[in-house]
Structure 1
Amino acid sequence: MASKPKALLERLVMPGPYEVLRGDLALVGLPGVVYTPREGLGLPAVAFGHGWLQPPELYRGLLRHLASWGIVAAAPATQRGPLPSHRLFATDLRTTLDVVTSVRLGADGVSVDPQKLGVAGHSTGGGAAVLAATERDPAISAVATFAPAEVLPSAAEAARTLRIPGLHLAAEEDLVAPAPAHARAIATAWGGPVQMRTLSKSTHLGLTEGFHWSRLLLHGKPHHRTQRTVRGLFTAFFRYHLTGEKEYFPLIDEDVKHAEIDFERTAAAR
């Protein structure tokens, strides 16, 4: 019989039970995309920060996957130039959460609970997600990143002030934001419960989908197993911490193949 974490991961890497709708954040004044379940009231929501030079469309599989499991997932398409402002990108992530909590989404009026908000991100978008979580308006309850990169102001310094749960997934073969200087620095500085895992045979761009010209500048390429593993772990993490669904705890508490826990702190740092 498969272990419970393995069985949970196998279930959560598959699309969830909700039919998914895609929308355009530009309709409410912010460029970007939003994926929502077709129906639901008081849903959790996650704002996702793209990596350096990456358009949000490269993460459509992850965003759609979260929505299929009942999580509104939105990604602003801002700060995409070669010299982005990480501080402003963090503000855009918070604005994204403001937007999805203040309007009804979709034809059937999906709504978001302002007490069930999270942020996530890849690369510099991961660093910006950490910065976004330091602000209290709106209140953010959990942060998850893949191959997070240090940003300006420092994500590691910002992490010291956070008491909310954090999940940081590093790519084993990342040459752009190597784990010791980025994911591990953020995780070890984290002020609250935190976990860092390393995804084997994954590169900096493992989470992205399709081809984009920036791949000519950055090391790595899309990786199917990385995409599936991130989808499963992010889904379990946010469903547990934003909605309190305890059935997902074994997956976020134990090692899984190709995503072993490298660092963990189960309580807030003193």
Structure 2
Amino acid sequence: MARKAKHLLDELSRPGPNEVLRGDLALIGMPGLVFTPKSGLGLPAVAFGHGWLQPPDRYRGLFRHLASWGIVVAAPGTHTGPLGSHRLLASDLRTALDVCVGVRLGEGAISVDGDKLGLAGHSTGGGCAVLAAAEDNRIRAVATMAASQTKPFASEAARSCGMPGLHLAAGADRVAPPVGNSELIARSWAGPVQVRTLPKATHLGFAEGRHWSGLLIDGKAQHATQRVSRALLTAFFLVHLTGEAEYLPLVEEDIKGAEITFDGDDDLATTA
């Protein structure tokens, strides 16, 4: 019997079955984090773009969560300053994926399948993920959280994104309002795309812990926002990068607190 979306949400909001290892991107001279399952060959990988002024450490819980479900995550720690380059961060996301594919991780016990690559990001990092996806035909899925506009414009780059897209919008976001950002990107998306709005989420609700940037940016870390977004991203990437169709109900159906507010394609079936 098919499981309901709310049951899958409960399952995927909890840590997965894999023990998790943490490393860094120093081996290529790039600051940043890598989280992987303890072992596994032919794994999917996702490169994650941080938000404006946010260090990758503010998303460690999300990285650890995805890795516990069998997904390698690489998060460059570049361009974290106020004048960081969106174009160069997008390039670094692609480089991080190159490393995941080209280097055996975890003392050789972990490898990544070059046909199972995704991108994700928060705030401007979400916009940078769109920029990177538009120039990389290896990418199979893209997910953003409270995506912000970038230069060059993510909404223009979205016209070249034919892979499935998931954009989580924060309903209480006063930095990147959903209609002006996530929905604008989604309406330009070339492939199947969906916007889900978390009505109580703020712009920084997806980030973890405290950081001095909270003095400049509206919002703060929100456990409920992080719980739902972790489950949704996990389901989205498991479906589209590994073909695990059992999680399709959570990808395709409304759930309380994260209703679908824009659907650019009636069929978000697996592309893996």
Same fold, TM-score > 0.5, yes or no: yes
Gaps of at least 5 residues in structure 1 are none
TM-superposed CA distance for 1:136, in Å, is 2.7
Question: Quick one: distance in 2 between partners of 1:203 and 1:216?
Answer: 14
- 1:227 is aligned to 2:205: no
TM value normalised by structure 2: 0.96
AA in 1 matched with 2:22: R
Within-5 A mapping of 1:110-129: 110-129=110-129
1:183-222 aligned within 5 A: 183-222=182-221
What's the CA shift for 1:3? 6.7
Q: Secondary structure at the match of 2:136?
A: coil
Task: Provide the rounded CA distance (Å) in 1 between the counterparts of 2:27 and 2:161.
Answer: 33
Give distance in 2, aligned partners of 1:179 and 1:263: 11
How many correspondences in the alignment? Answer: 266
Partner of 2:175: 176
Partners of 2:146 and 2:176 lie apart in 1 by 7
Deviation readout 1:217-240 (Å, 9 max, x if unpaired)? 000000001000010000000000
d(CA) in 1 for partners of 2:215, 2:221: 13
**Aligned partners of 1:140 and 1:267: how far apart in 2?**
21
1:160 paired residue number:
159
Give, as a single letter, the amino acid of the residue that structure 1 aligns with 2:21. L
Distance 2:134 2:3 in 1: 36
Q: Could you say what secondary structure the match of 2:139 adopts? A: coil
Letter in 1 for 2:160: T
Q: Distance in 1 between matches of 2:161 and 2:57?
A: 29
Structure-to-structure mapping, 1:52-67, within 5 angstroms: 52-67=52-67
Matching of residue 246 in structure 1 with residue 242 in structure 2: no
- Aligned equivalents of 1:41 and 1:157: distance in 2? 36
Q: Distance in 1 between matches of 2:63 and 2:136?
A: 24
Distance 1:117 1:3, change over 3 A: closer
Q: Determine if contact 1:18/1:37 at 8 Å carries over to the other structure.
A: yes
| Corresponding residue number in structure 2 for 1:7 | 7
The answer to whether the 8 A contact 1:119-1:140 is kept is: yes
Give secondary structure in 2 for the equivalent of 1:141: strand
Match of 2:146 in 1: 147
The corresponding residue for 2:270 is none
Runs of 4+ in 1 over 6 A off after TM superposition: none
Identity %: 64
Provide the C-alpha distance between the structure 1 equivalents of 2:108 and 2:186, rounded to a whole number of angstroms: 39
Please tell me the root mean square deviation across aligned C-alpha atoms, in Å: 1.3
Partner of 1:102: 102
2-side partners of 1:222 and 1:255: how far apart? Answer: 24
Amino acid in the other structure paired with 2:191 = G
In structure 2, distance between residues paired with 1:27 and 1:95:
12
- Cross-structure match for 1:30: 30
Separation in 2, partners of 1:213, 1:26:
25
- Contact 1:119-1:143 at 8 Å conserved across structures: yes
Instruction: Give the distance between the partners of 1:211 and 1:80, measured in 2 at CA.
Output: 16
State the TM-score, normalized to the length of structure 1: 0.96
Unaligned runs of 5+ in 2: 268-272
How far residue 267 of structure 1 moved from its aligned partner, in angstroms, is 6.5
- Structure 1 residue 174, shift from structure 2 partner: 0.3
